[in-house]
Amino acid sequence: MPPLERERLDAYLGLLGLHRGDGVAAYDAAARAYDGFARIWDNCIAAPALAHFNALVTEHLAPGANVLDAGAGTGERTRVLLSQDTVGHVVALDGSQGMLALAERKLRDPRVVFVRGDVNRLPFPDNSFDLVASTWVVETLDDPRSAVREFVRVIKPDGVAIYAFCSLPEGRGGALLKRVIDLAAPDSGPLSVLLPEPERPFHHCERSSLHQFSGGLTTVAVVAKCCVIESTHLPCKLP
């Protein structure tokens, strides 16, 4: 990894490391600085994964779609969703009121509402959304599978959930990233930000898909209503 990108990754992971402990308070405090870090991540390291994520969103959005942005943060992914002509309504949900306040100031669009809530316990009935979109959220949770199960619960029978997450790639790349994490967030606990191999969210169904980018650092997954999210399933990998 080039030195500049490594420095940028250091900074971004240092911010994400604040999520441990009182994560909501940490994100409230870091809200104003978050966009700068996230922009570096999105435009440099995560760019291939996000390009694939955005293409999937465009593919799966039906006219008038009701969409949940789960873990919306300061609204950058919500902005992308609202740029789609087919979107009818977007709910931007996040646990941090500080993040949502920034998103609300940036996105003055009658099609979006902002809701403070827990991704692991979504405050919506079953079958509420045509599409759930989520980026860089499940890997920050203590129970990623619980969040993915919630995504599946709230999508309609013909809907999908599309989510992107980070995980430690195998081999020397994973070892380097672990070192970066330890340097960037030494008090946050080992591997506190990225999911090691056994803890990746799993899925199983013919309608689902999974693509990895950047040597396994980023993953984009699609799950449908019929997917069963269980710890007993082996991780899906590209051929």
Q: Spell out the domains of the chain, with CATH numbers in brackets.
A: 3-224 (3.40.50.150)
Asked if the model's pLDDT at residue 237 lies above 90, the reply is no
Mean pLDDT of 92-107: 89
Q: Can you give the pTM of this predicted structure?
A: 0.79
Mean pLDDT of 221-232: 83
Asked if the model's pLDDT at residue 53 lies above 80, the reply is yes
Instruction: Please write the tens of the pLDDT for every residue from 153-183.
Output: 999 999 999 999 988 766 655 566 555 555 5
- Among 198, 236, 204, 231, which Cα is nearest to 220's? 236
Contact 16, 140 (CB under 8 A): yes
Instruction: Please write the tens of the pLDDT for every residue from 85-97.
Output: 899 999 999 988 8
Phi, psi of 220 (to 5 degrees): -120, 125
Distance, in Å, from the CA atom of 26 to the CA atom of 24, rounded to the nearest integer, reads 5
Mean pLDDT over all residues of the chain? 78
Can you give the pLDDT at residue 162? Answer: 96
- Among 83, 108, 104, which Cα is nearest to 92's? 104
Mean pLDDT of 12-24: 50
Can you give the pLDDT at residue 199? Answer: 74
Taking the alpha carbons at both ends of the chain, their separation in whole angstroms is 25
Q: Could you please report the per-residue DSSP string of 150-191?
A: HHHHHEEEEEEEEEEEEBPPSTHHHHHHHHHHHHH-TTS-TT
3-state secondary structure of 133: strand
Can you give the pLDDT at residue 92? Answer: 97
**Residues whose CB falls within 8 Å of the CB of residue 90, separated by 6 or more in sequence, listed in order:** 67, 68, 69, 78, 81, 82, 111, 112, 113
Confidence of residue 21 (pLDDT cuts 50, 70, 90): very low
3-state secondary structure of 203: coil
Distance, in Å, from the CA atom of 63 to the CA atom of 85, rounded to the nearest integer, reads 8
